[in-house]
Structure 1
Amino acid sequence: MNRNLFITLLIIFNIAIDQISKVIVRMTMIKGGKGQINVIKDYFQLIWVENKGAFLGMGSEMNSTLRLIFLLILPTVVLCYVVYYIVKTKTLDKLSLIAFCCIIGGGIANVFDRIVFGEVTDFFFINLGGIFKTGIFNVADLSVTTGMVMLLFSGIFTNKKKENISA
């Protein structure tokens, strides 16, 4: 498959899965946690909230000008640069390329929400009884996080390969 087509399709896939999940949440749930759904007891729940800020609501208290700069303009510039970078850098390994596509797709999906709705729809919540607990997040956040973890693994594997070659 053509590399640029692969990049485009993977980014679109990440955006589509996120936006479809958000449409389903908006159509079927009650906002504000009143209609929470226990998927796996209290450990994994669906709770619909709207987030004016970034990750875990950070920045939601900023004035509208700062929110525009830090939650719309800056992320859009960064996302455009990353798209440019992955299209131009033909030497990226497959794992890094997929990781960047996940990050870009998730980032675009959340920026889209901020442009269209003025806030981001979040709905996943995990609470493993004091061992591990998340804030409320969405599929786009999951895409970005997965992409970041994949980039870390890619960097570790790439460095180990270089060490083995030079040894």
Structure 2
Amino acid sequence: MSLRNAYLLVLLVLVVDQVSKIYIKTNFILGEEVEVFSWFKIYFIENEGMAWGTRIPGEYGKLILTVFRLFAVAGIGYWLWDSVERRRSSNYLIVAIALIMAGAFGNILDSVFYGVTFDDSQQNVATLFSNKPYGTWFHGKVVDLFYFPIWQGNLPSWLPIWGGKEFTFFNAIFNVADVAISTGVGILLFFNKKAFHKYE
């Protein structure tokens, strides 16, 4: 795969990711959900940018996370260029890196820009390019929207630790960027030999 095509893949993922997030922000109130199927819902939440809403404590925790991600994306970008231009790596590896880069960059856009682009989604549908933004630069919240509660119920009481407790599979809420990252990592794990095969 050429570097141009890899960048086009990154751009395509970014466009789909941002269009879906902007649509949710400008049409849903925080916490609002729409049931597509019993096992699939569009459910609007926001988080500080880490999995399951985890956050780095402290006044500068969010800023540290965003700056770290910017450096990480720069490193992934170099890895992509090196894999295409110097190492002539397999398409499996190039696609995986491109997806990971696109996903990481997609969530960075939320963190960097959304705080100064949108107003709050707590009580009303957010306005794009609002005069009263909810945050500051580098302190935006990441938009998540896909929810797949495939199974919900109480676990058998004989199970250790979780027995008798209510359980949901799958309880993560995520976005297109997260799907891209997970797919890229999945390619590296499940197609490891093909991904790291070197062409002469």
TM-score by shorter chain over 0.5: yes
SS at match of 2:147: strand
- Specify the code of the residue in structure 2 equivalent to 1:75: R
Distance in 2, Cα, partners of 1:75 & 1:94: 25
- Do residues 29 (structure 1) and 28 (structure 2) align? yes
**Conserved? CA contact 1:114–1:120, under 8 Å:** yes
SS at match of 1:91: coil
- Specify the code of the residue in structure 2 equivalent to 1:63: G
Residue of structure 1 in register with 2:15 after alignment: 16
Distance in 2, Cα, partners of 1:150 & 1:11: 16
**Conserved? CA contact 1:10–1:101, under 8 Å:** yes
> Which of 60, 69, 74 is the aligned partner of 1:75?
69
**Conserved? CA contact 2:49–2:107, under 8 Å:** no
Q: How does 1:1-167 map to 2 (within 5 A)?
A: 3-32=2-31, 35-41=32-38, 43-59=39-55, 62-69=57-64, 71-89=65-83, 90-117=87-114, 118-130=140-152, 132-157=169-194
Deviation of 1:15 after TM superposition, in Å, equals: 0.7
Q: RMSD of the TM alignment (CA)?
A: 2.0
Distance in 2, Cα, partners of 1:29 & 1:65: 29
User: Which ranges of structure 2 fall in alignment gaps of 5 or more residues?
Assistant: 115-139, 153-167
User: Which ranges of structure 1 fall in alignment gaps of 5 or more residues?
Assistant: 163-167
Deviation of 1:157 after TM superposition, in Å, equals: 4.0
Distance in 2, Cα, partners of 1:99 & 1:148: 7
Deviation of 1:158 after TM superposition, in Å, equals: 5.6
SS at match of 2:174: coil
Query: Paired residues, what number?
Result: 155
CA 1:127–1:9 in 2, change beyond 3 Å: closer, same or farther? same
- Specify the code of the residue in structure 1 equivalent to 2:104: G
In our comparison, the structure showing a higher alpha carbon Rg is: 2
- Specify the code of the residue in structure 2 equivalent to 1:113: D
Distance in 2, Cα, partners of 1:64 & 1:110: 20
Deviation of 1:92 after TM superposition, in Å, equals: 1.7
**Conserved? CA contact 1:123–1:136, under 8 Å:** yes
Distance in 2, Cα, partners of 1:111 & 1:155: 27
Distance in 2, Cα, partners of 1:19 & 1:51: 16
> Identity of paired residues, percent?
26
SS at match of 1:29: coil
**Conserved? CA contact 2:49–2:111, under 8 Å:** no
**Conserved? CA contact 1:86–1:92, under 8 Å:** no
